[in-house]
Amino acid sequence: MVVGEIAEAVDLLVVGGGPAGYAAALRGAQRGRDVLVVDRDGEEGVGGVCLRAGCIPSKALIEMAGVAERAAGYSSAGLSVGERSVDLGAFQAHKARIVGELTGGVRSLLAGAGVRVLAGDLRFTRPDQAVVRTPAGRAAFVEFRDVVIATGSRPAVLPHLVPDGVHVLDSTGALDLAELPATVAVVGAGYIGVELGTALAKLGSSVTLVEMADRILPEIDVALTRPVARRLDELGVTVLTAARAGEHRGTILHVRCGDRDVEVKADVVIVAVGRRPNTDELGLDRLGVTPGDDGLLHVAPDRTLRPHVAAIGDVTPGPALAHKGYAEAPVAVDALCGDRVAFQPAAIPAVVFADPEIATVGLSAAAARAEGLDPVVTTVPMAGNGRALTLRAPRGTVQLVSETGTGLVLGLHVVGPHASELVAEGTVAIEMGATVEDLADTVHVHPTVGEQVQEAARAAAGRGLHSASPARRPHHHLNKE
Amino acid sequence: MSTIVFRLPDIGEGLAEAEIVEWLVAAGAEVRADQPVVTVETAKAQVELPAPADGVITELAHGPGDVVPVGSALFTFEATGSGAGAVEPEPAGEPALATAPAVDGRPVPVPVPVPASAAPAGAGRRRVLAAPSTRRLAVEHGIELAELTGSGPNGRIVLDDVRAAMAGGARSADGAAARSPEPVTAQAAVTPAATPAEPVAGETRVRPLRGLRRQVARAMTAAWSVPHITEFREVDATELERAHRTLRADAEEQGLRLTLLPLLVRAVTTALRRHPDFNATLDMEREEVTLHRRLDVGIAAATPDGLIVPVLRDAGRRSVPGLAREIARLGAGARERSLPLQDTTGGTFTISNFGSYGTWLGTPLINAPQVAIAGFGRVRDAVVPVDGVPAVRRVLPLAVAADHRLIDGEHLGAFVNTLERLIRTPVLLLGEED
- The pLDDT mean for chain A works out to 93
Least confident among A398-402, B89-93, B331-335: B89-93
| Angle at the Cα of A414 from the Cα atoms of A411 and A420, rounded to 5 degrees | 105
Is the confidence at residue A245, as pLDDT, over 90? yes
User: By the 8 A CB rule, do A341 and A302 touch?
Assistant: yes
- Rounded average pLDDT over A71-91: 91
The nearest alpha carbon in chain B to A317 belongs to: B98
Q: Which amino acid is at B395?
A: V
Could B101 and A295 be called an inter-chain contact, meaning their C-beta atoms sit closer than 8 Å?
yes
The nearest alpha carbon in chain B to A429 belongs to: B131
Could A274 and B101 be called an inter-chain contact, meaning their C-beta atoms sit closer than 8 Å?
yes
Q: Which amino acid is at B156?
A: R
Could B63 and A370 be called an inter-chain contact, meaning their C-beta atoms sit closer than 8 Å?
no
Tell me the C-alpha distance between A136 and B269, whole Å. 84
B chain contacts of residue A321, beta-carbon cutoff 8 Å: 111
Q: Which residues of A are annotated as a binding site?
A: 59, 151-153, 188-195, 211, 274, 314
- Closest by Cβ to B97, choosing from A160, A317, A403: A317
- Rounded average pLDDT over B88-98: 32
Tell me the C-alpha distance between B348 and B368, whole Å. 10
Rg (CA), chain B: 27
For B58, phi then psi, to 5°, come to -100, -30
Could B112 and A338 be called an inter-chain contact, meaning their C-beta atoms sit closer than 8 Å?
no
Could B181 and A273 be called an inter-chain contact, meaning their C-beta atoms sit closer than 8 Å?
no
Look at residue B64 in the predicted model and tell me its pLDDT: 78
Confidence of residue B119 (pLDDT cuts 50, 70, 90): very low
- Rounded average pLDDT over B88-95: 32
Q: Which of B141, B228, B292, B404 is catalytic?
A: B404
Q: What percent of chain B has pLDDT over 90?
A: 36
Dihedral sign computed on CA atoms, order B132, B134, B137, B138: negative
Q: What percent of chain A has pLDDT over 70?
A: 96
Is the confidence at residue B82, as pLDDT, over 70? no
Determine the distance in angstroms separating the CA of B278 from the nearest CA of chain A, rounded to an integer: 45
Look at residue B108 in the predicted model and tell me its pLDDT: 32
Could B115 and A299 be called an inter-chain contact, meaning their C-beta atoms sit closer than 8 Å?
no
Q: In what order do the strands lie in the sheet with B17-23?
A: B46-50, B36-41, B17-23, B67-69
Confidence of residue A175 (pLDDT cuts 50, 70, 90): very high
- Rounded average pLDDT over B229-236: 95
Is the confidence at residue B9, as pLDDT, over 60? yes
Tell me the C-alpha distance between A103 and A96, whole Å. 10
For A368, phi then psi, to 5°, come to -65, -45
- Closest by Cβ to A318, choosing from B101, B116, B206: B116
Look at residue B97 in the predicted model and tell me its pLDDT: 30
Tell me the C-alpha distance between A368 and B93, whole Å. 11
Dihedral sign computed on CA atoms, order B184, B188, B193, B197: negative
- Closest by Cβ to A275, choosing from B101, B140, B153: B101
Residues 394 to 423 of A: which have CB under 8 A from any B CB?
403, 406, 408
Q: Which helix (H) or strand (E) element contains residue B374?
A: strand B372-376
User: By the 8 A CB rule, do B135 and B146 touch?
Assistant: no
| Per-residue pLDDT tens over the stretch A456-468 | 999 999 887 775 5
Tell me the C-alpha distance between B5 and B395, whole Å. 60
Confidence of residue B170 (pLDDT cuts 50, 70, 90): very low
Least confident among A180-189, A202-211, B77-86: B77-86
- Rounded average pLDDT over B59-84: 75
Q: What region does A193 belong to: left with phi over 0, alpha with psi -120 to 50, or beta?
A: alpha
Dihedral sign computed on CA atoms, order B161, B162, B163, B164: positive
**Closest C-alpha to A103, from A41, A52, A39:** A52
The nearest alpha carbon in chain A to B152 belongs to: A433
Higher-confidence residue of A193 and B164: namely A193
Is the confidence at residue B201, as pLDDT, over 70? no
Look at residue A237 in the predicted model and tell me its pLDDT: 98
**How is residue B345 annotated by DSSP?**
S
Catalytic residues of A: 446
Could A350 and B112 be called an inter-chain contact, meaning their C-beta atoms sit closer than 8 Å?
yes
Helices marked H in A255-362: 284-287, 322-336
Please name every residue paired with A240 in a beta bridge, in sequence order, or none if there are none.
A210
**Closest C-alpha to B48, from B59, B36, B57, B58:** B36
| Diameter over CA atoms, chain A | 73
**Closest C-alpha to A379, from A354, A348, A416:** A416
- Rounded average pLDDT over A38-48: 95
Look at residue A280 in the predicted model and tell me its pLDDT: 94
Confidence of residue B349 (pLDDT cuts 50, 70, 90): very high
Asked if A342 is an interface residue toward chain B (Cβ–Cβ < 8 A), one would say yes
Confidence of residue B89 (pLDDT cuts 50, 70, 90): very low
Q: Find how far residue A117's CA is from the centre of its chain.
A: 25
Please name every residue paired with B82 in a beta bridge, in sequence order, or none if there are none.
none
Could B140 and A346 be called an inter-chain contact, meaning their C-beta atoms sit closer than 8 Å?
no
Tell me the C-alpha distance between B72 and B61, whole Å. 9
Is the confidence at residue B1, as pLDDT, over 80? no
| Per-residue pLDDT tens over the stretch B363-415 | 999 999 999 999 999 999 999 888 899 999 999 999 999 999 999 999 999 99
Cβ within 8 Å of residue A23, ≥6 positions away: A325, A326, A329, A330
DSSP output for B120-164? SSSSSSPPPPB-HHHHHHHHHTT--GGGSPP-SGGG-B-HHHHHH
Look at residue A474 in the predicted model and tell me its pLDDT: 39
Please count the residue pairs, one from chain A and one from chain B, whose beta carbons lie less than 8 angstroms apart.
196
Look at residue A300 in the predicted model and tell me its pLDDT: 93
Tell me the C-alpha distance between B57 and B77, whole Å. 5
Look at residue B189 in the predicted model and tell me its pLDDT: 32
Structural domains of chain A, ranges and CATH numbers in brackets: 8-155+276-337 (3.50.50.60), 168-273 (3.50.50.60), 349-461 (3.30.390.30)
The number of CA neighbours under 13 Å toward the Cβ of B401 is 20
Look at residue A358 in the predicted model and tell me its pLDDT: 98
- Rounded average pLDDT over A470-477: 41
Look at residue B12 in the predicted model and tell me its pLDDT: 53
- The pLDDT mean for chain B works out to 78
Is the confidence at residue B41, as pLDDT, over 80? no
A chain contacts of residue B61, beta-carbon cutoff 8 Å: none
- Closest by Cβ to A433, choosing from B94, B129, B200: B129
Higher-confidence residue of B120 and B354: namely B354
B chain contacts of residue A341, beta-carbon cutoff 8 Å: 136, 139-140
Is the confidence at residue B33, as pLDDT, over 80? no
B chain contacts of residue A370, beta-carbon cutoff 8 Å: 94, 123
Tell me the C-alpha distance between A311 and B189, whole Å. 15
Tell me the C-alpha distance between A318 and B100, whole Å. 9
Please name every residue paired with A14 in a beta bridge, in sequence order, or none if there are none.
A37, A148
Is the confidence at residue A41, as pLDDT, over 60? yes
- Closest by Cβ to B191, choosing from A187, A190, A300: A300
**B132-165 CATH choice from 3.40.430.10, 3.40.50.9100, 2.130.10.30, 4.10.320.10:** 4.10.320.10
Could A372 and B142 be called an inter-chain contact, meaning their C-beta atoms sit closer than 8 Å?
no
Look at residue A467 in the predicted model and tell me its pLDDT: 59
Determine the distance in angstroms separating the CA of B100 from the nearest CA of chain A, rounded to an integer: 6
DSSP output for B171-224? S-SSSS----SS---B-SSPPPPP-PPPP-TT--------HHHHHHHHHHHHHH
B chain contacts of residue A157, beta-carbon cutoff 8 Å: 102, 105
Query: How many residues would you count in chain B?
Result: 434
The nearest alpha carbon in chain A to B190 belongs to: A298
Tell me the C-alpha distance between B210 and B378, whole Å. 32
CATH superfamily to which B227-430 belongs:
Chloramphenicol acetyltransferase-like domain (3.30.559.10)
Structural domain boundaries of chain B? 2-79, 132-165, 227-430
B chain contacts of residue A343, beta-carbon cutoff 8 Å: 116
- Rounded average pLDDT over A72-96: 92
Look at residue B339 in the predicted model and tell me its pLDDT: 83
- Closest by Cβ to A158, choosing from B105, B139, B204: B105
Look at residue B69 in the predicted model and tell me its pLDDT: 80
Interface test mutation site (partner B, options A333, A371, A412, max chain B beta carbons within 10 A):
A371
Can you name the CATH fold of B2-79?
OB fold (Dihydrolipoamide Acetyltransferase, E2P) (2.40.50)
Identify the burial level of B302 via C-beta atoms within 10 angstroms of its C-beta, where 0-12 means exposed, 13-18 middle and 19 or more buried: middle
Could B116 and A219 be called an inter-chain contact, meaning their C-beta atoms sit closer than 8 Å?
no
The nearest alpha carbon in chain B to A319 belongs to: B111
Is the confidence at residue A448, as pLDDT, over 80? yes
